Amino acid sequence: MQRVNKEDKDIFNIAIYVHDLVKEIGHSRAMIESLNNIPSEKIKDIYVISFSCDKEEIIFRNSPHKVKFYKVPKLFQKPFLIKMLYFYIMSYLIKLFKIPKDTKHIGIGTAALCVDYVNIQFIQEEWSHLYFKYIKNNFLKTIYKKVLFFFFIQAEKYLYRIRKDVKFSVLSQFEVDYLKSRFKVDEDRMILNYSGVNFDNFSIPEKSRHETFMELKSKYNDLDKIDPTKPTYLFVGAFERKGLKYVIEKVKKIKDSQLIIVGKPESGSYDIKLTDNMAHIPYTKEIEKIYAISDTFVFPTIYEPFGLVLLEAAVMGLEIYTLTKKVGASELLHNLEGVHLFDDLHSLEIRTNNFLTREMRVSNRKKRKEVFEKYTWEMTGEKFYKLLSSTNLS
């Protein structure tokens, strides 16, 4: 009989189930950063089951050769309900026939049901109540959304309440509390594991603001509407849930204001009327440079289990405006100079329109970095590895 070394039990394969594992998507970036802060010697191989996946050196930069991508063919992308059902079936078949038995199976939210661990980035049942309160649709779309949310919620009930063997990494305290109260999840099945921020990737550039702006303008023509010598507001994210219409309402009231909008509507069209001083960039892989040419980050999100962009904008030295209710990252932003927190949308008020000098940005970054160093990706990775390797989380 072969003797098993106790240390070997802490070395295992990992399988990740998510629709798209690319770093430009917030929940994927959190998963990627967590993986990269688990010591490479603790992981045999990483299997990615997904429609799309970043390059191996991004997913696991210390040992990219350990990443193996099983691509789910994009046969059904719309409607989203069919896409979900299709992914459930395909991911289960890939797990059954392709993935080794000694593997830890990890899902991001309800992307897959055949998992042992869930990295909870979003709780659809909690969001559904807010969605129908704040977002208005036509009759047919409302019916479809109700059906879609019903489907999501049944998946959550299965994973979070019925499956007593599943364990969870949860990225904010308010979500931990919700899982306890709504799904009756025991404390010994989950960990509170805040997302971190990569200080190297999000640092103030050596180039001048003007140089950075001109470089970006050559790629994004809509920046012609922005004057880089004047204060600039910034919004990043999906339009509906992140509260773009409230940003536009507030910014329009401020004399000589200008706004950069990065993102897209969550689905289909969106009734957005941009003025001459509002630039729209649908997608970018250079978000850190966008932060560098902006002064004030306005993020009145209706529901945000964490919100990586808040920490990123904060360490880039920007002024911050956001809400505290159901916004996870706000739990780390209290009592920071230049960070303005409001209880809800009705109380949100933009009080500043400052042009930040490099010295002001550096000063803000230094003070905030002292706080955020308690919540690094290294710590996130360590806690996630503990979740995967330990049978007792209490």
- What pLDDT score was predicted for residue 270? 66
| Tokens 């042992």, residue located | 116
> Facing residues of 298 across strands?
321
For residue 303 the two structure tokens come to: 């529901």
The Cα angle at residue 85 between residues 164 and 17, in degrees rounded to 5? 60
Q: Answer whether residue 82 shows pLDDT above 50.
A: yes
- What pLDDT score was predicted for residue 272? 74
pTM value is: 0.91
What is the percentage of the chain residues whose pLDDT exceeds 70?
95
Q: Which of 196, 200, 194 is nearest to 33 (CA)?
A: 196
CA distance 259 to 197: 24
Mean pLDDT of the chain: 93
Q: Which of 302, 217, 301, 324 is nearest to 260 (CA)?
A: 217
- What pLDDT score was predicted for residue 266? 78
CA distance 40 to 237: 32
Average pLDDT of 185-199?
Answer: 94
Q: Answer whether residue 2 shows pLDDT above 60.
A: no
Q: Answer whether residue 281 shows pLDDT above 80.
A: yes
